[in-house]
Chains A and B, each alone.
Chain A
Amino acid sequence: MKYTEEHEWLLDEDGIVTVGITAHAAEQLGDIVFVELPEAGTEVSKDDEVVVIESVKAASDILAPLDGEILEVNEAIIKEPSKVNEDPEGDAWFFKIKPSEPEQMDDYMDEKAYKDFIG
């Protein structure tokens, strides 16, 4: 598992990377009431705004952590945004991406570095 400074987690399974937000991020955001995901098949570039989440407090953007193609999105969290608070690092993943530049993964933190990052 890799982590971004934007509090996303990335899980690489055979070249397909699942992306979600960390438990720390979900807690900071508060109760999530709305999630907008990209369409499967979309080509994205690193740092594109691909996801919008709204909590009871405010709206936030989630940036694409990698260049690549969105293969699949998690429709379940659109129907039930509260799942993101309940299981952010499990069932409430956001999307799966097939990276075109897999080495971009190397820029991100491992679990220990992320834990240090959030203090």
Chain B
Amino acid sequence: MGELKQTALIDLHLALGGKMVNFAGWEMPVQYPLGVMKEHLHCRAAAGLFDVSHMGQLIVRAGAEALEALMPVDVAALPEGRQRYGFLTNDHGGIIDDLMFTNRGDHYLFIVNAANAEADTKYLRKHLGDAVEPIYDRALLALQGPDAEDVLGTIAPDTSRLRFMDMGTFDTDFGTLWISRSGYTGDDGFEISVKNEHANDLARALLSHEQVEPIGLGARDSLRLEAGLPLHGSDMDAGLNPVEASLSWAIQKVRRKGGARAGGFPGEEQILSALVLGAERCRVGLAPEGRAPMRREVALFTANEGGDQIGVVTSGGFGPSVGAPVSMGIVAQKYSTRGTHLYGEVRGKRLPVSVVPMPFRPATFKR
């Protein structure tokens, strides 16, 4: 695949029979011989190992104040050892990228989307200069599912003490690991930052447990979709503000109108007013009533013929754990109430679909 970037686990993916694809310029496994459906179900039932080394890991040696000038979230109150969801916004309030950041004491650790990693680094450097240091010598693995705690406990016993969104440093046979209790599946699990030279041994040690199967990007997408977790570039982008993306929950009161540190971030005017007045459109869960999946770009209407388009599916497919098709999309505000019946146009036919709450399947985080 020529010029594609490869993670430290490339040989392991090939040895495991991974079907490799170009994902955001990286050569990544979309699935292994088990296949997307069984990988998904296995991860929900036992544990799945994902290579997410293509995501950007950045050390940011900046203070909370500097970061709050770039993100509409509460950075200052985040205690050391805690991780939080956030996003970088542009001057129109649109989402440049969404990310996870952790207070690591003398710095913050950012985990950003693979597709945006280079742009994010450039953007953050523009504002924060040398305080931003991309990490190239560490891989990132995710171990997700109900058996993740037991399996990881064989390598780093103290990880069982981590609660959802905690992060710690653990000395192991595989070097010093930075481990957070979080992920992108809606299930309990961990993300593990490991030096490249130990990544293969660590992955093989985790896979040696019969509970653990390797999981490709195909099942990663269906798992996050069932969990109602948006994907930047599909379900939100620089043209959509956090209120429109139904991510208001991630903007703490202290940054809203009337809060002690209200505003002061790019797009403050648009975001603060949308938080009060609501948005004209928003992201919703969609449950197709038939069996046909409604995928990205399916147009949404209020009637089975005629009428104007009132929304669009932004992600969709089959939800293996739900046992039915699941989608999310952006719809006009007045059609966003749960239970609203809409129609999605699939292959020229309008098929019924309902607005439903997300997640499609309850989360199983260890809070």
Q: Which residues of A contact B (CB under 8 A)?
A: 30-31, 33-34, 36, 52, 54, 56-57, 59, 78, 81-82
**From A52, A56, A57, A78, contact of B347 by CB (8 A):** A52
Contact count A vs B, C-beta below 8 Å = 42
B266 at the interface (CB under 8 A from A): no
Taking CB atoms, residues of chain B closer than 8 Å to A82 are 37
B35 at the interface (CB under 8 A from A): yes
Docked complex Cα distance between A9 and B124 (Å): 56
B367 shortest CB reach to chain A, Å: 31
B293 at the interface (CB under 8 A from A): yes
A30 touches B35 (CB 8 A): yes
Taken residue by residue from 300 to 331, chain B's Cβ proximity to chain A (1 for < 8 Å, 0 otherwise) reads as 00000000000000000110100001000000
A34 touches B291 (CB 8 A): yes
Taking CB atoms, residues of chain B closer than 8 Å to A56 are 35-37, 218, 222, 317-318, 320
**From A30, A52, A54, contact of B36 by CB (8 A):** A30
Q: A56-B37, A57-B36 are in contact. Are A33 and B347 (CB under 8 A)?
A: no
A34 touches B318 (CB 8 A): yes
**From A33, A36, A52, A78, contact of B318 by CB (8 A):** A33
Q: A30-B35, A31-B36, A33-B325 are in contact. Are A57 and B292 (CB under 8 A)?
A: no
Taking CB atoms, residues of chain B closer than 8 Å to A30 are 31, 35-37, 218
B222 shortest CB reach to chain A, Å: 7
Residue on B with the closest CB to A81?
B291
Docked complex Cα distance between A5 and B54 (Å): 37
A-B contact pairs, 8 of them (CB 8 A): A30-B37, A30-B218, A31-B37, A31-B318, A54-B292, A56-B218, A56-B318, A59-B295
Q: Which residues of B contact A (CB under 8 A)?
A: 31, 35-38, 218, 222, 291-293, 295, 317-318, 320, 325, 347
A39 shortest CB reach to chain B, Å: 14
A18 shortest CB reach to chain B, Å: 23
Complex A-B, nearest 9 residue pairs according to Cβ-Cβ distance, in ascending order = A31-B37, A33-B318, A56-B36, A34-B291, A34-B292, A54-B293, A31-B35, A56-B318, A56-B37
Docked complex Cα distance between A66 and B189 (Å): 52
A92 shortest CB reach to chain B, Å: 16
A24 shortest CB reach to chain B, Å: 15
Residue on B with the closest CB to A61?
B347
Docked complex Cα distance between A44 and B34 (Å): 37
Docked complex Cα distance between A54 and B290 (Å): 13
> 12 additional contacts, CB 8 Å, given A30-B31, A59-B295?
A30-B218, A31-B35, A31-B318, A34-B293, A34-B318, A34-B325, A52-B347, A54-B293, A56-B218, A56-B222, A56-B318, A81-B291
Docked complex Cα distance between A30 and B219 (Å): 12
Residue on A with the closest CB to B221?
A56
Q: A56-B222, A57-B218 are in contact. Are A36 and B292 (CB under 8 A)?
A: yes
Taking CB atoms, residues of chain B closer than 8 Å to A59 are 293, 295, 347
Taking CB atoms, residues of chain B closer than 8 Å to A33 are 37, 291, 293, 318, 325
B18 shortest CB reach to chain A, Å: 14
Taking CB atoms, residues of chain A closer than 8 Å to B218 are 30, 56-57
Taking CB atoms, residues of chain A closer than 8 Å to B318 are 31, 33-34, 54, 56
Docked complex Cα distance between A33 and B291 (Å): 8
Docked complex Cα distance between A82 and B35 (Å): 12
Taking CB atoms, residues of chain A closer than 8 Å to B31 are 30
Docked complex Cα distance between A35 and B282 (Å): 31
Docked complex Cα distance between A81 and B347 (Å): 19
Docked complex Cα distance between A54 and B295 (Å): 11
Docked complex Cα distance between A57 and B347 (Å): 16
Docked complex Cα distance between A57 and B35 (Å): 11
